[in-house]
Amino acid sequence: MAVQGAPRFLLTFDFDETIVNENSDDSIVRAAPGHGCRESLRATYREGFYNEYMQRVFKYLGEQGVRPRDLRAVYEAIPLSPGMGDLLQFVAKQGACFEVILVSDANTFIVESALRATGHLGLFRRILSNLSGPDARGLLALQPFHTHSCARCPSNMCKHKVLSDYLSERAQDGVHFERLFYVGDGANDFCPMGLLASSDVAFPRRGYPMHRLIQEAQKAEPSSIRATVVPWETAHDVRLHLQQVLEAC
């Protein structure tokens, strides 16, 4: 049975280079001694295992005396993407029309610190990201979000699975969304596109990996992306389209 008064639309955001205008994992070098990490540490990175690499980075920072409060100060200073503050305020004013979630391969400490500082944390019903927080020593520790079998995605997170699981969970609650909206930029934001139907909208940041992968997929097989694709340069582009959707309802 559907829940009376349930939100009509699900609006999903990525975080890095979508809500904020930087890659937050790269931003933490500002908290490191000398504003950088050792070359030997950077050399341990392997494609597809970025989460494991960041676990080593946080361990290194802790050994150098960097504490969670130092990292929080960095995260709180990361700027929002152009127009993003206005977009989030617009969505908040729509009341229960939108259910808003965030799916990010960053981590909960970063995301919550940044959103709390800008006053937008309360907009999000759920933050779906790699779990992080101070450990028993008071140092920031990072865990993978889940395991999965998707060959395309990093070992710690497949956003297709994250979003699919969330939709199943909400369906069990009796909540069925009329339309899905997905705002992102990265290569890992491409995998969830398979969940979007023809009535849904994908908002890839123009010129970023998600946009290029969508273009490549459409060129190879025009029907492979069922959703309407609306590239954005600033979040004002997203707001304008959402306004048009609401006016047409």
200 tagged catalytic: no
Is residue 16 a known part of a binding site? yes
Q: Give the chain as a 3 state SS string.
A: CCCCCCCCEEEEECCCCCCECCCHHHHHHHHCHHHCCCHHHHCCCCCCCHHHHHHHHHHHHHHCCCCHHHHHHHHHCCCECCCHHHHHHHHHCCHHHEEEEEEEEEEHHHHHHHHHHHCCHHHCCEEEEECEEECCCCCEEECCCCCCCCCCCCCCCCHHHHHHHHHHHHHHCCCCCCEEEEEECCHHHCHHHHHCCCCCEEEEECCCHHHHHHHHHHHHCHHHCCCEECCECCHHHHHHHHHHHHHHC
Q: Are strands 140-142 and 132-134 parallel, antiparallel or unpaired?
A: antiparallel
Is residue 25 a known part of a binding site? yes
Is residue 165 a known part of a binding site? no
Is residue 189 a known part of a binding site? no
Q: At what angle do helices 68-76 and 108-118 cross, to 10 degrees?
A: 50
* Active-site option among 16, 189, 200, 237: 16
14 tagged catalytic: yes
Is residue 185 a known part of a binding site? yes
Detail the residues annotated as belonging to a binding site for Mg(2+). Answer: 14, 16, 185
Q: Which residues are catalytic?
A: 14, 16
